[in-house]
Amino acid sequence: MRAASMFSKLLIANRGEIACRVIRTCRKLGIRTVAVYSDADADAQHVRLADEAFPIGGARPQDSYLRGEVILEVALKAGAQAIHPGYGFLSENADFADAVEAAGIVFVGPKAASMRKMGSKAGAKQLMQAAGVPVVPGYTGEDQSPELLQREADAIGYPLMIKAAHGGGGKGMRIVRSAAEFLPNLESCQREARNAFGRDRVLLERYVEHPRHIEIQIFGDAHGAVIHLNERECSAQRRYQKVLEESPSPFLTPELREAMGAAAVLAGRAIDYQNAGTVEFIVGQDSDGKPGGFYFMEINTRLQVEHPVTEYVTGLDLVEWQLRIAAGEPLPNAQHEIAQRGHAIEVRLYAEDPEAGFLPGSGKLTRLRLPAPDAHTRIDGGVIEGDTVTIFYDPMIAKLIVWDETRPRALARLREALAQCAIEGPKSNIAFLERLVRHPEIVDATIDTGTLDRDLDAFMPQPADPAQARVARAAAVVALLLREEARTRAAAATSGDATSPWALADGWRLGHGGHRRLVLDDGERKRVFVAHGSGGDYRLQDGDGGETLDARGARWEADGALSLRLNDESRRLRVDIDETGALPRIAIHDGARRWRFVREPAYRPAADAGASVGDRVLAPMPGRIVLLKTNVGDTVEAQQEVLVMEAMKMELTLKAPRAGVVAEIRVGVGDFVEADAALVVMGDAA
């Protein structure tokens, strides 16, 4: 493709991941970008990545990102020649698209007339039926009397779905399985539609049991051409929300793929479609599990969240296509030039708690570790470590997309990529996704749109195998021991005293009798471990009376994994130690399951530990002095802070046991001290 010169400046009327995504393509094409932001997003990543950024109002979407008139004012002020709406917010708002065009600015998306044709599910279905696109048998008429709707439902047959004619996002939808259930469900659906969308018109359609959700990516230009870029399967859903998307679909036959692609192009031409769109279908299954008929659902008149899987298998940049078509260029490729190579899968990492009904979360991302992008792995995100997931917007943290030559290899890539993810702060759905991608219905590609809602318990945590739990705990202890020994050696090397006993990682100083004591909390109980040995060879004894494990040959591998032999059985585990908080957190991944532990202090001093015992400030445990807060001769009050020491990777502030004068300070910054060593001696004031 030739270099883009159609726009010199583009405003992105969105936030987060999609805004960052659009900025990346614009930067590649030499187009300057203008971001907009709410009060909650002043420090967001899309603001930092854009060339310019302007505030547009309060944190709530209706006070900022849904204020089309304010966004348009910013575009005119900044001199933007085009506006990309992203997805969500104003992306399918025909009135906004009209206002943008009226202001002499290009709207990067379909024409408002095409949006309006698809804005009503009933009207869209009638239009598609007239154009020859297969539709589910149903009723889309304007007569909404309960008596007529009941007769139409009985004629269509059960099971049947009632759907709000104006709306989306899974709201205003009911499945009815018998005539007796129809009227109560109709009233409920109408109430929900009226509250959510302001209109209570419904349509009826035959409910396809165990359907597969297949969508076709289409593109049209201003010169009358419409093509498709093949399909994505999105059958893994929960409450009509997509959970996993992939391309190509493992369910379709070549013949069905060709027929659905042709139907999608027909649908696009029926509404004079321009730019990117997605034609969504449901596909029935025969009794033998093979594809049955396919039926039109709707057209999403925007770029889809899952567009990266199409980009991976076609090798195309869909945002670049959007920009070129919006600038009046013809489609870059003809239908026969669209390639399909390999297999791509996408999942979305959310700040949510699957075990609490997928309750959305919020809070600061104190730790965010994602796999490094490469030819097989792509990360589309809008936050980094230290950012806050707010309560005002979708709690997506990042999209994780993988590609490989075959579907089994792509699934293996995805499992490995998820194992590399670590999120601390708000709860996340990582562990849920790991169970999902290992579930037989995903592996065997038999999942349908109702699987998760029918059998969600199968995707929730199962009781841990005791043997696996022991291995995970032992690995956590060994990882901490290796980390401590490495730091001890580094500290000795820094001091230049390699002959000091502190340089010896043999454990003699960290406890009595050459052993070390560690306490791990797994969220259910605390366990005490006593470790003997050093240098990767340890004997681990469960202080609560559990079995003893021999760990041999423990070491860190080049890829960061921990390898060791436990009772002569070799193990390799992924370990992530997070020491950013008050207590170290250890995440262990054994290849199939993740485990999380918190290291508690091995010795729990009394509340005034280090500030009692007469005239002396004592070390409550072995550690290193990091800060002196007084000098000899200073007068101090009782409980006044006198020094800070580091122990068990925590900072402990030690206080004066009484009022008086600092008579002696027996340590300096950087000194290592034993438990119960006298650090400061108090005297009386003159």
Of 525, 564, 560, 563, which is closest to residue 546 (Cα–Cα)?
Answer: 525
* CATH number, domain 9-108: 3.40.50.20
Between CA 304 and CA 61, with CA 297 as vertex, the angle to 5 degrees is 45
Give kind and range of the element (H or E) at residue 397. strand 396-404
- Which SS3 state, helix, strand or coil, does residue 465 take? coil
Averaged pLDDT score across all residues of the chain = 90
Question: What six digits make up the tokens of 180?
Answer: 């007796």
Residue 580 is predicted with a pLDDT of 79
Residues 222, 202 contacting (CB under 8 angstroms): no
241 versus 220: the higher-pLDDT residue is: 220
The one-letter amino acid at 347: V
* C-alpha to C-alpha distance for 496 and 456, rounded to whole angstroms: 59
Question: What six digits make up the tokens of 248?
Answer: 């190509």
* C-alpha to C-alpha distance for 74 and 11, rounded to whole angstroms: 9
pLDDT, one tens digit per residue, over 553-563 is 999 999 889 99
**What residue spans define the domains of the chain?**
9-108, 137-206, 211-341, 342-461, 466-600, 616-683
Contact residues for 143 (Cβ-Cβ < 8 A; gap 6+):
none
* CATH number, domain 616-683: 2.40.50.100
* C-alpha to C-alpha distance for 217 and 297, rounded to whole angstroms: 14
How confident is the model over 35-60, as a mean pLDDT?
A: 97
Residue 120 is predicted with a pLDDT of 79
Sheet-wide strand order for 52-57:
52-57, 32-38, 9-12, 82-84, 106-107
Token pair 């206080």 in the structure block, residue: 655
Residue 675 is predicted with a pLDDT of 67
How confident is the model over 442-457, as a mean pLDDT?
A: 95
Residue 150 has phi, psi (to 5 degrees) of -65, -45
Residue 5 is predicted with a pLDDT of 58
pLDDT, one tens digit per residue, over 221-252 is 999 999 999 999 999 999 888 999 999 999 99
Q: How confident is residue 6, by pLDDT bands cut at 50, 70 and 90?
A: confident
Strand 138-139 relative to strand 160-164: parallel, antiparallel, unpaired?
unpaired
* C-alpha to C-alpha distance for 500 and 491, rounded to whole angstroms: 11
* CATH number, domain 137-206: 3.30.1490.20
How confident is the model over 620-642, as a mean pLDDT?
A: 88
pLDDT, one tens digit per residue, over 392-438 is 999 999 999 999 999 999 999 999 999 999 999 999 999 999 999 99
pLDDT, one tens digit per residue, over 135-151 is 988 998 899 999 999 99
Token pair 């001091």 in the structure block, residue: 495
Of 69, 65, 70, 55, which is closest to residue 89 (Cα–Cα)?
Answer: 65
Q: How confident is residue 185, by pLDDT bands cut at 50, 70 and 90?
A: very high
- Which SS3 state, helix, strand or coil, does residue 594 take? strand
Residue 73 is predicted with a pLDDT of 98
Residue 18 has phi, psi (to 5 degrees) of -70, -35
Strand 678-683 relative to strand 526-534: parallel, antiparallel, unpaired?
unpaired
Residue 270 is predicted with a pLDDT of 96
* C-alpha to C-alpha distance for 664 and 666, rounded to whole angstroms: 6
Other beta carbons within 10 Å of 166: 18
Residue 464 is predicted with a pLDDT of 84
Q: Considering only 96-100, 104-108, 653-657, which range has the smallest mean pLDDT?
A: 653-657
Question: What six digits make up the tokens of 595?
Answer: 């485990």
* C-alpha to C-alpha distance for 167 and 619, rounded to whole angstroms: 65
Q: Considering only 49-63, 280-294, 411-425, which range has the smallest mean pLDDT?
A: 280-294
Residue 495 is predicted with a pLDDT of 66
- Which SS3 state, helix, strand or coil, does residue 495 take? helix
Instruction: Look at the chain and count its residues.
Output: 686
* C-alpha to C-alpha distance for 344 and 400, rounded to whole angstroms: 10
Token pair 């293996």 in the structure block, residue: 412
* C-alpha to C-alpha distance for 84 and 79, rounded to whole angstroms: 14
CATH of 466-600, one of 2.60.40, 4.10.320, 3.40.50, 3.30.700: 3.30.700
Instruction: Say yes or no: do domains 211-341 and 342-461 share a fold.
Output: yes
How confident is the model over 452-458, as a mean pLDDT?
A: 93
Instruction: Check 15, 32, 257, 302 and give the catalytic one.
Output: 302
Residue 610 is predicted with a pLDDT of 40
Long-range CB pairs of 136-143, under 8 A, 24+ apart, other chains included: 136/205, 136/206, 136/208, 136/282, 136/295, 136/296, 137/205, 137/206, 138/203, 138/204, 138/205, 138/206, 139/203, 139/204, 139/205, 140/165, 140/203, 142/201
pTM of the model: 0.79
pLDDT, one tens digit per residue, over 320-379 is 999 999 999 999 999 999 999 999 999 999 999 999 889 888 899 999 999 999 999 999
The yes-or-no answer on residue 378 being catalytic is no
Strands (DSSP E) found in 39-135:
52-57, 82-84, 106-107
* C-alpha to C-alpha distance for 397 and 425, rounded to whole angstroms: 12
Residues 402, 414 contacting (CB under 8 angstroms): yes
* C-alpha to C-alpha distance for 102 and 106, rounded to whole angstroms: 9
Tell me the H-state helices in 120-163: 121-131, 146-156
Report domain 342-461's class. alpha beta
**What is the percentage of the chain residues whose pLDDT exceeds 70?**
92
**Is the link from the previous residue into 248 a cis peptide, with omega within 30 of 0?**
yes
CA dihedral 477, 480, 486, 487 (to 10 degrees): -150
Report domain 211-341's class. alpha beta
The one-letter amino acid at 164: A
**What is the percentage of the chain residues whose pLDDT exceeds 90?**
71
pLDDT, one tens digit per residue, over 632-655 is 999 999 889 999 987 654 678 899
Question: What six digits make up the tokens of 527?
Answer: 């366990």
User: For the chain, first and last CA: distance in Å?
Assistant: 86
Strand 343-350 relative to strand 396-404: parallel, antiparallel, unpaired?
antiparallel
